[in-house]
Amino acid sequence: RSRWQALLQLRSTRMRVMAGHLGAVGGSRSSCDPDSRATTLREVREEAGLRAGIILPPAKFSEGGKCDWYVMQVQETPEFEKAATWQECDDVRSVLHLLPESSRV
User: In tens digits, what is the pLDDT along the chain, a chain of 105 residues?
Assistant: 567 778 888 888 888 888 998 888 888 889 999 999 999 999 888 888 888 888 889 999 998 888 899 999 888 888 888 776 677 788 888 888 888 887 766
Q: Is this prediction's pTM over 0.85?
A: no
Phi then psi for residue 32, to 5 deg, are -85, -10
Q: CB under 8 Å to 6, separation ≥6 — which residues?
A: 24
For 101-105, the CB contacts below 8 A with 24+ separation are 105/5
102 SS3 class:
helix
Q: How many whole angstroms separate alpha carbon 96 and alpha carbon 87?
A: 20
